[in-house]
Structure 1
Amino acid sequence: MGLQEFKNSLGADQPPQDFPLPLQALWYEAKGDWHQAHHLAQSAGDKAGAWIHAYLHRKEGDPSNAAYWYSRAGQTPSQLPLETEWENIAQALLQQYT
């Protein structure tokens, strides 16, 4: 699946069931459900989940918590616009999982 197909899936009521937890988290975040995205990112328990967790805390305006999660993810804290970072994460994870 490519980035555009992933974005197109946002028109549905739920993410495709075969999406790994980190992609589900990004999907719910894009739909405006920060709490479900946060729950799924925490549940993932891996570096991909930590990266999304970092993004979510950055978006909520908690840079120190975001920095902790970027570190756990092995990522440099982003200074990109949030939309660009979301797309970069989605693209990287789509390549990883497909």
Structure 2
Amino acid sequence: MNIKEYEASLQQPEVPPKLNKPLQALWYAAKDNWNRAHELIQDEVDADSAWVHAYLHRVEGDLFNAKYWYKRANRPTSDETFEQEWKKIASELI
């Protein structure tokens, strides 16, 4: 799957099969299902998951928590728009 196919999958009612948890969480976040996205990612410990977790908390408006997760992901705190950051994360994780 490439980024265009991933973005196109947002028109479908179900998350595409075989996506890893970070990409599943981003998919749900793009579908305005923050709770499902957070459920998928909250117990994961890898850097990619931490990056998505940081993004989710930034979207939520919890910048203190977001900064913690950016640090865990070894990423700078983002100042991009949510759309720009979402696409950046998805593009790198695909």
Query: Same fold per TM (> 0.5)?
Result: yes
1:61 aligns with 2:61: yes
Q: Which runs of 4+ in 1 moved over 6 A?
A: none
Partner of 1:25: 25
Paired residues in the alignment total 94
Identity of aligned residues (%): 48
Give unpaired runs (5+ residues) of structure 2. Answer: none
Taking only aligned residues, the RMSD between alpha carbons, in angstroms, comes to 0.9
Name the structure 2 match of 1:13.
13
Larger mean CA deviation between 39-48 and 25-34 belongs to 39-48
Task: Return the structure number with greater helix share.
Answer: 1
TM-score by length of 2: 0.95
Partner of 2:65, secondary structure, is helix
| Number of the residue aligned with 1:78 | 78
Deviations 1:6-46 (A, max 9, x none): 01001111111200011000000001100000111124331
Task: Name structure 1 gaps, 5 residues minimum.
Answer: none
Name 2:87's counterpart in structure 1.
Answer: 87
